[in-house]
Structure 1
Amino acid sequence: MVFIGMDHGTTGISFCIISDEGDIVDVFKIGREESKKGLVSASEELKKRVNLDDVKLMAITYAMGDGISQILPTDKVKDRGILSMSGAGKVTGGGTSVFDELEELNLPSVMIPGLHKDSTSLDRLFRAAYSHQASPEKVSISYNAVKETGWSNFIVADISSNSVDILIEDGRIKGAIDACLGAMGIVHGPLDLEMIRDIDENNASANDCFSHAGAIKIAEIDGKVANMKDQLLENYVAGDEKAKLAIDTLVMTVAMEIAGLDVVCENDIEGIVLTGSIGSATTPFDFKDEINKYFKNKYPLKVISKESGAIGAAQIAMDVYKGRKEILGIEVNI
């Protein structure tokens, strides 16, 4: 008996397989471009690693997840749980092809919702302030963070292509700050005044601006999303001043965002969980040390796997199968 979690990430689709005791059997990732071009098959990769007859439940994250607010059986979800494929975020088609393959496997599965204005599980002030706060994998990341720490009041900082910080209070997700609102990631970031003017003057689309508003804007890097992080880090190691400024600025914006979430938590924060390809990084810089320069040991800092999205999704699948009725305040309706 095994369970599968899928993380629909920016640069690739990650899978985690766990046993019925919660032990990780395998974690692997499929590149979006490779999937779109048919160079790799999600279903074949799964079959290499597990007998599909042993899969009791799979939990899927997909795109924004703004069309649903509960954890639901995949076959009961309309339009794959999203309101639109237009707007923020790079669309390559790789994630869609993986979803198509998974549907053909006909495995028992559920879909995890994103965090948005119709998420009744969230604090009403966050719902009033922001139409969208986080995509579904941030829920699974937060669930893995709970499993790893045992904390009930903390902040999750997921730093990779984009940066999203999530506030958990009394074991529930209270709210989050999305990538287009606050901290920079490697690729995505907030839309500032200059970008808004470019959009108004038809010099760029909002999506183009969002997809070039992260650290790459400062480092003056462009190209394929999957390559931008490596290029930035290579420039950083080479001593490029713009790359150094980009990383330092990213860290500062993340620190500001975490501090803002701390302010609105009614309970004392037990710690901060760091994850994502940058949040969990130890080379060429240690992100934990860099962020701690701002917090000066105020909080315990816990680094979890950069694959926490897939791992947490598998853990959600296991607990839902075993009868759990809510996940971090989100209702399970199966």
Structure 2
Amino acid sequence: MVFVGMDHGTTGISFAIINESQVTDVFKISREDSKAGRVSAIEELSKRIDLDDIELMIVTYAMGDSISTILPIEKVEDRGILSINGAGKVTGGGTSVYSEIEATDIPVLMIPGIHKGCDWLNPLFKAAYSHHASPEKVSIVYNAYIETKWENMIVADISSNSVDLLIENGEIKGAIDACCGAMGVVHGPLDLEMIRDIDEGRRTANECFSHAGAIKIAGIDNKVAFMKDELLNNYKNGDEKAILAIDTMIMTVAMEIAGLIAVSHNDIEGIVLTGSMGSMKDPIDFEAKLNKYFKNKYPIKIISSESGAIGAAQIARDIAKGKKEIMGIKVEL
């Protein structure tokens, strides 16, 4: 038997396939290819495994803000979201994949996002923010926990956007979403200048959010799928704006992590880095640059940039074995 995890990411939809003990395959399909019908997620899975061998699949989708427990997909209404508006660039590729999976006979569970309706969150975080993180951050945290066994940690997912999460006593207790805290490559928090642009009708909030990351500083305006590569190429070529953009992004990530450490009730055992930027060593050693702020005070562990899909598959495996709770989140079968 095999287990499958799906990560509904910004630039593409990733899948991980695992057996009882190890990852056997990871692959990604672009949102544009899926929406245009050029690639079928189910066909791609079928090339790698017999679908009848899938004991359980875990999927994530969009904000996941209308559910707060892990549920069978057939019990989830409206794909588990309150609204698709204001959540970054919408292409429809993820919806196509969701519909494909929903139409199969594969046993599928959905992970919730982290939001004010989650009773397992610290009530102060729930009071402060309506939304904290999308569902794949739960699977990232689970993969981080399996890799480190740390009960008290900060998990930093740094890629198109940056989301950092606080884990205490093996449960997710808080997080800071991309529109509130640190910059990612593409997305970032809305500052005063952007709020004025929105109020004066020059740009929508979503347009601001989708140009508020490091690309804002580097002066890059391209398709989301190409922005990171352009930023890195400019960085390698010594472009001053790109260097400033990367250094600023890392500074904001360090501030966010330090803030979560400050409000933790327990001593933090370490920091976990993931995402396409967080796990990077070349041309940017993200760990080394981040650690300049923390001065070796905390162990730093890098996990796979595909931890969202891998962690989802690990959740599927462990629920199939009888686990009833994942990082504080109840499983309702």
Indicate whether the TM-score tops 0.5. yes
Tell me which residue corresponds to 1:268: 267
How far residue 215 of structure 1 moved from its aligned partner, in angstroms, is 0.2
Cα shift at 1:104: 2.0
Q: For residues 252-303 of structure 1, what are the alpha-carbon distances to aligned partners after superposition, in whole Å with 9 as ceiling and x for unaligned?
A: 0000000000001111100000000000000101000000010010100000
Equivalent residues in 2 for 1:73-222, closer than 5 Å: 73-222=72-221
Indicate the residue corresponding to 1:25 in structure 2. 24
Q: How far is 1:22 from its partner?
A: 3.0
Aligned counterpart, 1:230:
229
How many Å apart are 1:190 and its aligned residue?
Answer: 0.2
What secondary structure is seen at the aligned counterpart in 2 of 1:15? strand
C-alpha distance in structure 1 between counterparts of 2:89 and 2:330, whole Å? 29
Shift of 1:44: 0.6
1:311: which partner in 2?
A: 310
TM-fit CA distance, 1:130 = 0.4
| TM-score, normalised with respect to structure 1 | 0.99
> For residues 27 and 298 of structure 1, what CA distance do their matches in structure 2 show?
34
3-state secondary structure, aligned to 2:103: helix
Q: CA deviation at 1:317?
A: 0.7
Assess if the C-alpha contact under 8 Å between 1:156 and 1:274 holds in 2.
yes
Find the aligned partners of 2:201 and 2:172 in 1 and give their Cα distance.
38
In the alignment, is the contact (CA less than 8 A) between 1:88 and 1:206 conserved in 2?
Answer: no
The one-letter code of the counterpart of 1:230 is D
Amino acid at match of 1:294: Y
Could you say what the CA RMSD is over the residues aligned between the two structures, in angstroms? Answer: 0.6
Compute the displacement of 1:89 (Å).
1.2
Corresponding position of 1:9: 9
Report the 3-state secondary structure (helix = DSSP H, G, I; strand = E; otherwise coil) of the residue aligned with 1:312: helix
Distance 1:256 1:322 in 2: 39
Shift of 1:38: 1.5
Aligned to 1:251: 250
8 Å contact kept, 1:11–1:226? yes
Deviation at 1:86, TM superposition (A): 1.0
Residue type of the partner of 1:16?
Answer: A
List aligned pairs for 1:66-77, cutoff 5 A: 66-77=65-76
Q: Residue type matched to 1:2 in 2?
A: V
Distance in 2, Cα, partners of 1:30 & 1:80: 20
Deviation at 1:88, TM superposition (A): 2.3
Q: Distance in 1 between matches of 2:65 and 2:26?
A: 26
Report if aligned partners of 1:141, 1:308 keep a CA contact under 8 Å in 2. Answer: yes
Please give the alpha-carbon distance, in whole angstroms, between the structure 2 residues aligned to 1:54 and 1:107.
9
- Are 1:22 and 1:315, in contact at CA under 8 Å, matched by a contact in 2? no
TM-score scaled to structure 2, two decimals?
A: 0.99
The runs of 5 or more residues in structure 2 that have no matched partner are none
Shift of 1:322: 1.2
CA contact (8 A) 1:184 1:190 kept: yes
CA distance, structure 2, for counterparts of residue 38 and residue 223 of structure 1? 23
Match of 2:331 in 1: 332
Match of 2:41 in 1: 42
Q: Count residues in correspondence.
A: 333
* Distance of 1:178 and 1:323 partners within structure 2: 31
In structure 1, how many angstroms separate the alpha carbons of the residues matched to 2:93 and 2:219? 26
Tell me how far apart the structure 2 counterparts of residues 280 and 88 of structure 1 sit (CA, whole Å): 24
Q: Deviations over 1:84-121 (max 9, x none)?
A: 01112110011011111111222100000000000011
Range moving further from structure 2, 257-266 or 316-325: 316-325
Tell me the amino acid that sits aligned with residue 241 of structure 1. Answer: E
Structure 1 distance, partners of 2:29, 2:21, is: 23
1 CA distance for matches of 2:98 and 2:79? 9
Aligned-residue sequence identity (percent) comes to 72
Q: How far off is 1:226 after superposition?
A: 0.6
8 Å CA contact retained: 1:162, 1:188: yes
Amino acid at match of 2:4: I
1:159 and 1:82 mapped to 2: Cα distance? Answer: 23
Paired residues of 1:4 and 1:59 also in contact (CA < 8 A): yes
Note the alpha carbon deviations across 1:195-229, whole angstroms, 9 max, x for none: 00000000000000000000000000011101000
Q: 2:244 is aligned with what amino acid?
A: L
Partner of 1:105: helix, strand, or coil? Answer: coil
Structure 2 SS opposite 1:315: helix
Amino acid aligned to 1:17 = I
Contact 1:155-1:166 within 8 A present in 2 as well = yes
- Matches of 2:176 and 2:325, distance apart in 1: 22
Runs (4+) of structure 1 moved beyond 4 Å?
none
Amino acid at match of 2:137: K
Partner of 1:13, secondary structure, is strand
**Equivalent AA in structure 2 for residue 5 of structure 1:** G
